[in-house]
Amino acid sequence: MIFLGFTDDVLDWPWRYKLFLPTVASLPLLCCYAGSTSVVVPIPMRSWLMQKTTTLTYEYTWFGRLLTTRLDFGNQIFVVGPIVAIDPQAEGALLDLGFLYYIYMGMLAVFCTNAINIYAGINGLEVGQSFIIACAILVHNLIEMEHGTVSRENHLFSAMIMLSFLGVTLGLLRHNWYPATVFVGDTYCYFAGMTFAVVGILGHSSKTLLLFFIPQVLNFLWSCPQLFKLAPCPRHRLPKFNPATGLMEPSTFPCKAHEFQWLKRKPNDTECANMTLLNLCLQTCGPMSERDLCITLLGIQVVSCTVGFVIRYHVSHFFFDQ
């Protein structure tokens, strides 16, 4: 991934290559995965798969049968299942996704590499957010090794990777902090994203990993109209520097007066702010220095990781405990 990031910095790849190449690079990682492909079904959704009969036993619902059976029409057999499998002993609490789980993990690897890459562009942000996420993953690993009942070896593996990653990232952050003397580019973003994907997949905590990526997920969702060409998408959407005030302001793209009214502050504006979390923060909080903007975004990252822990260890019990 370091090589891919370096060539991206040099060749300035189109976005379609940034989706395809990480997918290919993640294939060896998926081949090394030997864990479970089952997921725990939330309590409100278990009745969709299995229901209790009058004899106090459980049987598949029509939706559960649809997921786990084949449809036989004479000489033609349409395979609906077993793409997924429902554990009858667990009363609908476990759903084995099979190959679909590998597709999910491949998409996770692509997301992690690109999520860091598109949520970047100011001094200290790429390295700072990676450092905070790595700290959250390490804390999660330590909690699971101390109080968890399964997968302690997987969390130990993840913790060892994170300790090495934190050491490298902390040294880099010193030189990448505002005013930066080292610029990381796509090389570090791809490296950091794939490192998180590796510990999430091989450490069997891929779903928890996404809880620490809340700002990156929000940034991606807010960017979707531009990424999928529903709105004009400049090559670079970084906030712009105003030399008169010395502050960062939202960057914009040109549009017609009747277009994108939901993005405009004034109906007749002929410019709209680029749809990134950086620009949204500047729109909400007002212009600020690059250093203050980075600190604000990193503060959001810390709060989001804290929320992730609350969801993982408290809120989730209401939906997954029996």
Q: Give 243-270 pLDDT, tens digit per residue.
A: 999 899 999 888 887 778 778 777 778 8
Q: What is the mean pLDDT of residues 227-231?
A: 84
The model's confidence at residue 187, banded by pLDDT at 50, 70 and 90, is confident
- Whether residue 88 is contained in a domain is answered as yes
This prediction's pTM: 0.85
> Is residue 202 located within the same domain as residue 309?
yes
pLDDT of residue 11: 52
Q: How far apart (Å, rounded) are the C-alpha atoms in residues 38 and 33? A: 13
> Is residue 148 located within the same domain as residue 209?
yes
- Whether residue 232 is contained in a domain is answered as no
> Is residue 26 located within the same domain as residue 108?
yes
- Whether residue 247 is contained in a domain is answered as no
- Dihedral of CA atoms 146, 150, 155, 157 in degrees, nearest 10, equals 120
Instruction: Provide the token pair at 278.
Output: 């950086």
Backbone angles phi, psi at 248, to 5 degrees: -90, 140
Instruction: Provide the token pair at 242.
Output: 């105003």
CB contact burial 83-102 (16+ within 10 A = b; e otherwise): ebbbebebbbbbbbbeeebb
Last residue within a domain, chosen from 48, 69, 96: 96
Instruction: Provide the token pair at 200.
Output: 């999430």
> Is residue 91 located within the same domain as residue 6?
no
> Is residue 7 located within the same domain as residue 115?
yes
Last residue within a domain, chosen from 77, 96, 115: 96
Q: Which domain holds residue 314?
A: 2-36+103-223+294-320
Assess contact for 45 and 93: CB atoms under 8 A.
no
47-62 pLDDT per residue, tens:
888 887 766 677 777 7
Of 126-130, 252-256, 279-283, least confident by mean pLDDT is: 252-256
- Whether residue 228 is contained in a domain is answered as no
- Identify the helix (H) or strand (E) that includes residue 234: none
> Is residue 29 located within the same domain as residue 42?
no
Residue 1 has pLDDT above 60, yes or no: no
> Is residue 76 located within the same domain as residue 189?
no
The model's confidence at residue 76, banded by pLDDT at 50, 70 and 90, is very low
> Is residue 43 located within the same domain as residue 192?
no
CA torsion sign for 162, 210, 224, 21 is positive
What ranges in the chain are assigned the alpha helix state H? 2-11, 15-25, 27-32, 43-49, 62-68, 99-118, 125-147, 152-176, 185-202, 206-211, 214-227, 277-285, 290-310, 317-320
